[in-house]
């Protein structure tokens, strides 16, 4: 993104911030809860842009001063200046990245909570174990962000992990950050059950949905077919003596959601409806994105959940994200929840792509 465009967007943000602050002090607006919520969200985004721009300016000025000191005759001063330059250069690069991220035209759904569905794919029991590893990764990542994770539905595997697990992540812009995780995740490692030490390749698919409110998606009860049955655990054994498990089929779309984790049929139905509502909402968003971005394919929102997005290679200790050709030799750290570097790189790539619409 060229500097002229960045400067232009910062000027626009400054001007818009002044307008927003005037509106937020309007007595008629103050009593409008929804309007104040929307303005507050916009105010935070604009302040983030301006603060990021101020940080870039501050670091850039400091760096220029340090470079001028390289012309001094005193060797000690030149050495100290070089140390400062070595420290400030990566800080300035990071500040530029932060500013570009802040300038992303934010989609409304990015501010929402997320619902994530992980399903074991090819690889049998090893795929289920890997699905469990991904669940733990997101669980730990949520903890580092101060987010709350709520398990909605799960089907454990006999040897550990999950055939399927669905959970909600509640936190500031959870969907906007986690949406890049949607797609097929592949693992290459030697399974514990492998006696010959051969490396196996397994996979799990991840779907990330923005959580929807009832006002976002109207579901006609007449469009639903609701079946109840007894919950089952690994191997199919019954784990409940009552018909508490719920399967909801949305007849017009054919979408099916099941939930059996709660002992209460009512609670299982409520959770299943949350997932169904999120799927229907995402479906509507995908149709809208397709209309807006028919000319080029985005990193996210492509709707192709069969696309291989990332490989976790245990023998080499590396993680590769295939969308941006990013390879990090930090596999254990990433699986322990340190996904920030991957997600930030994806956010930056998405920012550069989306800002082409502004240029």
Q: How sure is the predictor about 302, in pLDDT bands with cuts at 50, 70 and 90?
A: very low
Given a cut of 80, is residue 288 above it in pLDDT?
no
Domain extent listing, the chain: 3-102, 110-215+300-357, 221-289
Comparing 54-63, 196-205, 304-313, 321-330, the range with the smallest average pLDDT is: 304-313
Give the mean model confidence (pLDDT) for residues 120-128. Answer: 91
Given a cut of 80, is residue 319 above it in pLDDT?
yes
For 3-102, CATH gives: 1.20.58
Q: Which CATH number fits domain 221-289: 3.40.50.12500, 3.30.160.20, 3.40.50.150, 2.70.70.10?
A: 3.30.160.20
For 110-215+300-357, CATH gives: 3.30.70.1660
DSSP-assigned beta bridge partners for residue 235: none
Task: For the beta carbon of residue 157, count every other beta carbon within 10 angstroms.
Answer: 20
Cβ 177 vs Cβ 122: under 8 Å:
no
Most confident option among 44-58, 99-113, 181-195: 44-58
Q: pLDDT (tens digit, 9 = 90+) per residue, 61-115?
A: 999 999 999 999 899 999 999 999 999 999 999 898 888 878 877 777 888 899 9
Given a cut of 50, is residue 145 above it in pLDDT?
yes
What's residue 295's pLDDT? 45
Residue 155 φ/ψ, nearest 5 degrees: -130, 90
Average pLDDT, the chain: 87
Q: N- to C-terminal Cα distance for the chain?
A: 9
């Amino acid at each position: 993104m060229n500097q002229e465009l960045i400067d232009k967007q910062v000027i626009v943000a400054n001007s818009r911030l002044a307008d927003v602050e005037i509106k937020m002090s309007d007595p008629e607006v103050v009593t409008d809860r929804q309007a104040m919520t929307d303005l507050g969200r916009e105010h935070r985004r604009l302040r983030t842009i301006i603060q990021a721009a101020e940080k870039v300016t501050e670091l850039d000025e400091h760096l220029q001063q340090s470079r001028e000191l390289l012309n001094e005759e005193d060797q000690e001063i030149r050495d100290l200046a070089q140390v400062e330059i070595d420290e400030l250069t990566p800080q300035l690069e990071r500040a530029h990245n932060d500013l570009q991220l802040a300038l992303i035209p934010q989609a409304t759904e990015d501010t929402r909570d997320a619902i994530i569905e992980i399903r074991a794919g090819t690889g049998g029991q090893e795929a289920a174990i890997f699905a469990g590893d991904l669940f733990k990764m997101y669980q730990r990542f949520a903890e580092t962000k101060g987010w709350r994770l709520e398990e909605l539905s799960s089907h454990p595997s006999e040897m550990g992990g999950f055939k399927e697990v669905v959970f909600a992540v509640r936190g500031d812009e959870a969907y906007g950050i986690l949406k890049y995780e949607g797609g097929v995740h592949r693992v290459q490692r030697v399974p514990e059950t492998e006696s010959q030490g051969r490396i196996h390749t397994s996979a799990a698919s991840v779907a990330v949905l923005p959580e929807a409110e009832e006002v976002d998606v109207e579901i006609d009860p007449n469009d639903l077919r609701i079946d109840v049955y007894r919950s089952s655990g690994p191997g199919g054994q019954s784990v409940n003596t009552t018909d508490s498990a719920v399967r909801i089929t949305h007849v017009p779309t054919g979408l099916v959601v099941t939930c059996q984790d709660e002992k209460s049929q009512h609670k299982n139905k409520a959770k299943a409806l949350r997932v169904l509502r999120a799927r229907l909402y995402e479906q509507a968003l995908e149709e809208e994105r397709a209309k807006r971005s028919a000319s080029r394919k985005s990193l996210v929102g492509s709707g192709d959940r069969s696309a291989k997005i990332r490989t976790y290679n245990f023998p080499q200790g590396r993680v590769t994200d295939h969308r941006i050709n990013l390879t990090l030799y930090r596999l254990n750290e990433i699986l322990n929840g340190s996904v920030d570097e991957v997600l930030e790189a994806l956010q930056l790539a998405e920012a550069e792509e989306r800002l082409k619409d502004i240029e």
